């Protein structure tokens, strides 16, 4: 009888232990985790495994942060979550080079990712939501790549480049329902912003602040924001082209003391005001004078409120579209501009490259309704991101328009 009771108790004990083991997996950690300069993980009990220079989450991290103190590393979130408490910074990269942050959900911090004085790093395939600010690049964060991220419902900026953050590439991101989608601020120049979906901002979809010049903004979908694009305070010599600027509630483009930018081959459709220059209502502010077409026969922009005709059938209106006395689209397009896209150029930046591969890889195996579904990665439009989509990218890899 005692043996039977003992056996029953042992079975109950083992069952309870198994239940608890499954109940607490995956492991969750609290507090700051460091990837030290010597490659070690501190504390060693953190739910992160190391394989060479790749550091992979093995569980969620809550009430803490990650500080990267080593160059040439990959931090792979493996779809786990880094959870904050509403303040502090989720991932800190300061004075580093060639750091990759990928596949992690970051929520409830002041800054989700802080990249300071760092270069040649990549932030890709992450979900950044419900923070004060999403991704922050601070002085001289050069030649970094921010691609394929979902950045949504952050209180202020989705992405903010501040103070001489130059030569960075921002492509293929979904940036929605933040107060500002993307801000380029204080001498942040020579950046490329392409193929992003920027919608639902309570302020600006894209805003270029003081002296942020020589940036390229192309191939983006900028819709249903308060303002689509804002160029302000001596942000000059920027290229704004091939964007869909649609149904923004105040204006498609807001201008304030910003001149000498080239703005053509964009589609201005059904914005409350297609373009608004602050000087029109406040004459004490210098007017903005920009270039609104690429000459003939290349043409200018498509304006949904243009009322001219195309008598000779060349696709360009016979009369200019006049914004004010100094800003005229001399060759308005009669139909929305459509770029002839290279097959496999998913982010529409004119080149089939590793960034397009990343977009397909992150959505691989997904169908509509799946958490990682991305319709632009379904190149052949068959309702699933699979090997056939990868083949298209592979066959055209390296091609440029």
* 75 and 139 share one domain: yes
Tally of CA atoms within 13 A in the half-sphere of 67 that contains its CB: 13
Residue 19: which residues within 8 A CB-CB, separation 6 or more? none
Note the pLDDT of residue 371: 57
Average pLDDT, the chain: 89
Domain count for the chain: 2
pTM: 0.81
pLDDT in tens, 62-99: 988 999 999 999 999 999 999 999 999 999 999 999 99
Q: Could you tell me if residue 325 is left (phi over 0), alpha (psi between -120 and 50 degrees) or otherwise beta?
A: alpha
Among the ranges given (116-130, 209-223, 340-354), the one the predictor scored with the smallest mean pLDDT = 340-354
Domain boundary among 273, 306, 329: 329
Q: Are 241 and 229 in contact (CB under 8 A)?
A: no
User: Which CATH number does the domain housing residue 136 bear?
Assistant: 2.160.20
Does the pLDDT value for residue 27 go beyond 90?
Answer: no
Domain that holds residue 390: 341-401
pLDDT in tens, 369-380: 565 657 678 887
Note the pLDDT of residue 17: 30
Estimate to the nearest angstrom the gap between the alpha carbon of 8 and the chain centroid.
58
* CA–CA gap between residue 118 and residue 97 (Å, rounded): 6
* CA–CA gap between residue 330 and residue 313 (Å, rounded): 16
Q: How large is the average pLDDT for residues 257-265? A: 97
Q: Are 291 and 299 in contact (CB under 8 A)?
A: no
User: Which CATH number does the domain housing residue 354 bear?
Assistant: 1.10.1330.10
Q: Are 234 and 289 in contact (CB under 8 A)?
A: no
* Cis geometry, peptide bond prior to residue 151 (ω within 30 degrees of 0): no
* CA–CA gap between residue 335 and residue 69 (Å, rounded): 52
Domain boundary among 305, 329, 353: 329
* CA–CA gap between residue 126 and residue 344 (Å, rounded): 21
pLDDT in tens, 192-205: 999 999 999 999 99
233 token code pair? 């305070």
1 token code pair? 């009888």
Note the pLDDT of residue 24: 28
Count of other CB atoms within 10 angstroms of residue 362: 22
Residue 39 maps to a domain: yes
* 262 and 358 share one domain: no
* 34 and 65 share one domain: yes
Q: Give the model's confidence band at 382: pLDDT under 50 very low, under 70 low, under 90 confident, else very high.
A: confident
* 321 and 348 share one domain: no
* 250 and 362 share one domain: no
* 271 and 399 share one domain: no
Nearest by Cα to 292 from 316, 325, 317, 261: 261
Residue 90 maps to a domain: yes
Q: Are 328 and 319 in contact (CB under 8 A)?
A: no
* 373 and 246 share one domain: no
Q: Give the model's confidence band at 340: pLDDT under 50 very low, under 70 low, under 90 confident, else very high.
A: low
Residue 112 maps to a domain: yes
Note the pLDDT of residue 373: 58
* 37 and 67 share one domain: yes
Residue 108 sits at φ, ψ, to 5 deg, of: 65, 45
* Cis geometry, peptide bond prior to residue 391 (ω within 30 degrees of 0): no
* CA–CA gap between residue 181 and residue 225 (Å, rounded): 9
């Amino acid at each position: 009888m005692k043996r039977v009771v003992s056996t029953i108790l042992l079975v109950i004990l083992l069952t309870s232990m198994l239940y608890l083991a499954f109940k607490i997996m995956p492991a969750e950690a609290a507090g700051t985790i460091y990837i030290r300069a010597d490659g070690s993980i501190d504390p060693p009990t953190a739910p992160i495994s190391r394989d060479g220079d790749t550091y992979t989450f093995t569980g969620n991290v809550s009430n803490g942060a990650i500080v990267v103190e080593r160059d040439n590393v990959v931090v792979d979130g493996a779809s786990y979550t880094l959870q904050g408490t509403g303040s502090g910074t989720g991932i800190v990269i300061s004075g580093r080079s060639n750091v990759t942050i990928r596949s992690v959900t970051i929520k409830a911090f002041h800054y989700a990712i802080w990249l300071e004085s760092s270069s040649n790093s990549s932030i890709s395939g992450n979900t950044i939501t419900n923070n004060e600010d999403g991704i922050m690049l601070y002085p001289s964060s050069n030649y970094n790549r921010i691609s394929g991220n979902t950045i949504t419902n952050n209180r202020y900026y989705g992405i903010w480049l501040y103070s001489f953050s130059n030569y960075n590439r921002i492509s293929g991101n979904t940036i929605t329902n933040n107060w500002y989608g993307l801000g380029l601020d204080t001498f942040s120049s020579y950046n490329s912003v392409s193929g992003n979906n920027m919608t639902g901002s309570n302020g600006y979809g894209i805003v270029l602040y003081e002296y942020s010049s020589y940036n390229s903004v192309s191939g983006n979908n900028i819709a249903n924001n308060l303002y689509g694009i804002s160029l302000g305070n001596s942000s000059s010599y920027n290229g704004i082209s091939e964007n869909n600027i649609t149904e923004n509630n105040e204006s498609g483009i807001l201008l304030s003391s910003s001149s000498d930018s080239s703005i053509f081959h964009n589609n201005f459709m059904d914005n409350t005001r297609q373009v608004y220059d602050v000087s029109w209502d406040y004459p004490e502010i210098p007017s903005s004078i920009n270039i609104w077409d690429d000459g003939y026969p290349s043409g200018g922009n498509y304006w949904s409120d243009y009322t001219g005709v195309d008598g000779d059938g060349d696709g360009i209106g016979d009369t200019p579209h006049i914004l004010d006395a100094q800003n005229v689209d001399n060759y308005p397009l009669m139909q929305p501009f459509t770029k002839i896209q290279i097959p496999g150029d998913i982010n529409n930046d004119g080149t089939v490259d590793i960034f397009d591969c990343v977009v397909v890889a992150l959505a691989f195996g997904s169908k509509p309704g799946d958490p990682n579904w991305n319709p632009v990665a379904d190149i052949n439009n068959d309702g699933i991101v699979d090997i056939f989509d990868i083949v298209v990218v592979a066959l055209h890899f390296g091609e440029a328009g």
